[in-house]
Structure 1
Amino acid sequence: MKNFLSSFYFLSLLPLSAFSNTEPKICMVLDKAGKDDHSFNQEAYNGFQKALKSLPISKESKIIEAKDENHLNQTVRSFVKGKCSIIFAVGINNADTIKLISPQFPEQKFVVIDSNVSKKNVRSIVFKDEQGAFLMGAIAAIKSKTGSIGIIGGMNIPLIQKFETAYTAGAKYVNPKINVLIGYVGISVEAWNNPTKAQEIALSQFDQGADIIFHAAGGSGLGVFNAAEKANKKDTKKYAIGCDSNQNWIKPGMILTSMTKDIEKSVLDTIQNIIDNKFTTGLYTYEISNGGINWALDKYNKDLFTETEIIKINHIKNEIALNKIQTLSKEAKN
């Protein structure tokens, strides 16, 4: 008993720093668009920074922007070698690398955000993009004066095709006769960071009669915002719709709303799981019903909507949350 009390007394005198090795080391790799993309990467970066300030994680935690595929591969392997408690890979461009590397390090915990990698040591965080895209289509149709709207995706891949289908379905849910123009920025990963090309496509859609354009193009979406500003005239208002994060502030009055994904929360939730020793792998889905998907209404765009329109939009949102609307169905009816 005496020895036990002596040991307890000794441990109580140790500084807190003596136990710092119990704090998890969090490592994150962003894709090429980087933390200043005003979109997906920035949301993940913000979550990481909040964790550093408010959660008990190691000060050796680090975040790196991948310059290209080789740099990404090297970064992930260096994270493994550096004994990171968990490795986040942000964005669909990084998923293939984790799919390749994760089986080589079965004891390492990985998290992929915005992609589904079915490996035993990977948590895949996905968002029901179709719910948000449907809602954006409905909002665009509610506000359109010309009966023509647009959507611009980064690449013509299944994920963005899902955006396109749901956006169109949402628009036709409100106005079955509405015209939807569709465009894609490119065919390589550069498509997610090419605002010049996105602006060119958006200006073309505006010229064809669209008065609202939704982007699902990552950093390229900034070009859609620029196009809305250039095409906007006193008698013919043109608007853009943001994606992934609340982008209303970027060009106030030009951005009708934004489809938001609570990426920041998904990062913080996962880190908290690690801290609590409750981390599990598998598929984690964020959607409207759990606050993972929403539309942004704030000081930058609230004057663009009437109370009646806001009530109608929120009604549609609630119907989606209750699974009363099939967001990927071209037959969705009001």
Structure 2
Amino acid sequence: MKLISTAAVLIGALTFGTAASAAEAGPTLASVKSKDKVVCGANGGRPGFSGIDSKGQWQGIDVEVCRAVAAATLGDAKKAELVKVSSQTRFTALQTSEVDLLVANVTWTYSRDTNLGLDFVAPIFYDGQAFMVSKQLGVKSVSELSGATICIEPGSTSEKIVADIFRAKGMQYKPVVIEDRKELNNAFFSGRCDVHVQSTSGLSSGRATAASNPDDYVILPEVFGKDPMAPVVRQGDAQWRDIVNWTVYAMIAAEELGITSQNVDEMKKSDNADIARLLGAKDELGKQLALNNDWAYQVIKQVGNYGEVFERTVGKGSPLKLDRGLNRQWVDGGLLYAPPFN
């Protein structure tokens, strides 16, 4: 029995050693390297998350995640290509390999995770659904909205939330279904709808960028449901899922460890084992994902940590001026938490 146990231990050690050695590129990573770019599906009509600025450049927190994956896999954040997708086309674009991943404000739900042949990775933004109205309506609560005309994006979490809430309250509503986010905002702010429904961040984004006078509109205080927004990848390629997952975690861990795009070169000399391991100065974590050992360093150097990205895209340094709220680090009472890099 002792001989069998020893053999089993030796076999296990050899197996682990093989798994921890340099991995070969899986199908998605191989495709990314072959075309020398990471193609991401994004909304394109949600400023702060993914939108196109006056110079024709993509901007937003979702866009930065795509750039971070490009920095991790190709060493160059500029090798991220964004493709506009709608709530109706986004999953098909990923399923048919038109894009390598989705960064399109997709809410992680049970049905989406189990029915579409897709995998969600670490959430990059935690939110909930809310209702926005003109102050002129004098409405203080969703319970006062029976009979209202509501602007809704088809196939969205908002569509389901509205149906569930109004059914539960025994209220009626008139949906105005518009697929394009820009047209949806225009319809609401032009008075075609009484109510606009999205995540609180989406409503804040629309109010800040599409309303002629943002102060004329109020987001009602009730927040419904959980809205964890996460990048999405195809099932069947565990390596690519891990790459995207740990790229997000690298940005989160960097903020917790005090590593920024400005001090990352100095921090690479740190005696702190966690910092050295993350930045590739200790151990060889990159090999396990078929990446260069400095993959996380490139993410932080070229894109920044999570806090830096949040502030310039949706936080106080942006037109949205959103509070961190649930998107604070766990040590500050938020939900952001990166597993250990060891």
TM-score bracket, normalised by the shorter chain, equals: 0.3 to 0.5
With normalisation by structure 1, the TM-score equals 0.38
Higher relative contact order (CA 8 A, sep 6+): 2
With normalisation by structure 2, the TM-score equals 0.37
